[in-house]
Amino acid sequence: SQQGEEDPQALSIQEGENATMNCSYKTSINNLQWYRQNSGRGLVHLILIRSNEREKHSGRLRVTLDTSKKSSSLLITASRAADTASYFCATDGRDSSYKLIFGSGTRLLVRP
């Protein structure tokens, strides 16, 4: 079953603008990861944030994690048309199974 929800479900922005996606989850986690998927393709790992971290950066990506609210956000700054894709958060629980449970995803469209 899915761990949680992402919002918005879909987001359309102009190139150069920032895009923010939010993810909520239900159970305790070891870490939370963000993935990108182009239409009909596999997943690309973007960033991993551990449960004891609050913020992490990677290039134009900024991820925050609030374990008290069981939520995370992904910010893409200065978006480009090539950022158009679906973005998923995935949680790795504390049950030592290493299973990733994915959120519902956000479809991002960056208009040139």
Which residue is associated with the tokens 């993935």? 35
Binding mask 38-57 for another protein (x = CB under 8 A): --xxxxxx--x---------
Binding of residue 94 to another protein (CB under 8 A): no
Answer for which of 23, 84, 105, 108 binds another protein (CB under 8 A) is 105
Binding of residue 102 to another protein (CB under 8 A): yes
CB of 29 to another protein, least distance (A): 11
Q: How many CA atoms lie within 13 A of 90 on its CB side?
A: 19
DSSP notation for 71-111 = EEEEEE-S--GGG-EEEEEEEEETTSS--EEE---EEEEEE
What residue ranges bind another protein (CB under 8 A)? 1-2, 30-31, 35, 40-45, 48, 88, 92, 97-105, 107
